Amino acid sequence: MEPKLFCQSCTMPIDNMAYRGTEKDGSKSSDYCKYCYKDGAFTEPDITFEGMKKEILKQLQQMNLPKGIIEKSLENLPNLKRWKKVKV
């Protein structure tokens, strides 16, 4: 089954509630994963678009994902909520 929800910072699938970040009130975020977002704030607020791109590439390569999935994730990165306002 194809994921429906993706982290709007890193592209990680977040259909499973266990992978979602948390808001200030402890509720689960519908936009961000637990690695990017905790207690209503980004875990790495100063990371740049290029920094995130490098981190995603590293993580997905470590997971031995197919090249096509890695490329698709990187292509989608500029369209995510966190990066749309940033000049990439």
Q: What is the pLDDT of residues 31-70, one digit of tens each?
A: 999 999 999 999 999 999 999 999 999 999 999 999 999 9
Could you tell me the pTM of the whole model?
A: 0.88
pLDDT, average across residues 13-36: 97
Beta strand 28-33 with 37-38: parallel, antiparallel or unpaired?
unpaired
- pLDDT of res. 87: 59
Does 2 have pLDDT greater than 60? yes
Name beta bridge partners: 87: none
Q: Phi first, then psi: what are they for 50, rounded to 5°?
A: -65, -35
pLDDT, average across residues 73-78: 94
